[in-house]
Amino acid sequence: MSIIFVLITVSTLVAGVFLAAFIWAVRKGQFDDDRSPAVRILHDSLPTRNEHP
């Protein structure tokens, strides 16, 4: 049964890592703009030149 203490400790630590990652993401401004990154990802292909219909 004592294995559960190890498990709990490990899982809490993992959760703590995710919490730290979340705080890092907030500080880096990942939640500042929710529109442009979503659009940006669709735009990355190079468009064709002068062949617009």
Partner 1 sequence: MDPRTLTTVTCYHCGDTCAEEHRTHDGKDFCCHGCEVVYDLLNEAGLCDYYDLERQPGVKRDASVDEQRADLFDIEEVRSRLVDFSEQGITRVRFNVPQMHCSSCIWLLENLHRIEPSVIRSRVSFADKELSITFREEKLPLSGLVRLLRRIGYGPQLTNARAGSRRTGVPYMLYIRLGVAGFVFGNTMLLSFPEYLGADDEAGLRSGFQWLIVLFSFPVVFFLSTDFFRSAWAGIRSRTVNIDIPIALGIVALWSRSLWDVFTGHGPGYFDSLAGLLFFLLIGRWYQAYTYRALRFDRDLEDFLPLVVIRKRGQVEEPIKVGHLQTGDHILIRDQELVPVDAILREGTAHIDNSFITGEPLAVRKNVGDTIKAGGRQRGAAIELEVLRPFAESRLKQLWAEQAAGEGRPPMPRMIDALARRFTLAVLLISAGAALYWWGHDSSQVWPVVTAVLIVACPCALALSMPFAYGHTIRLMGRRGLFLRDAEVVERMAQVDTVVFDKTGTLTAREAHEMRWVGTALSGQDRTVLRSLARNSLHPLSAVLYKELKDPVLDAMNVEEQAGAGIMGVVDGRPVRLGSAAFCGGTERSRVAGEARVHVAMDGVHRGHFAIAKRPRTGMAGAIAHLRGKLRVALLTGDARVDPELLAAFDGATVRTECGPTDKSRSVREDQARGHRVLMVGDGLNDAGALAQSDVGITITETSAALTPASDAIMDAGALQQLPHFLHLARKARRIVVASLCISLCYNIVGVSVAAAGHMTPLIAAILMPLSSVSVVGFVTLATWIADRGSRTK
Measured between alpha carbons, how far is 11 from 5 in angstroms, rounded to an integer? 10
Judged by CB under 8 A, the chain residues 12 through 31 that form the site for partner 1 are 12, 15-16, 18-19, 22-23, 26-27, 29, 31
CB 25 within 8 A of CB 31: yes
Q: What does 20-33 look like in DSSP terms, one character per residue?
A: HHHHHHHHTTTTT-
- 42 lies in the site for partner 1, by CB under 8 A: yes
The residue ranges that bind partner 1 (CB under 8 A) are: 1-2, 4-5, 8, 12, 15-16, 18-19, 22-23, 26-27, 29, 31-36, 39-40, 42-43, 47-50, 52
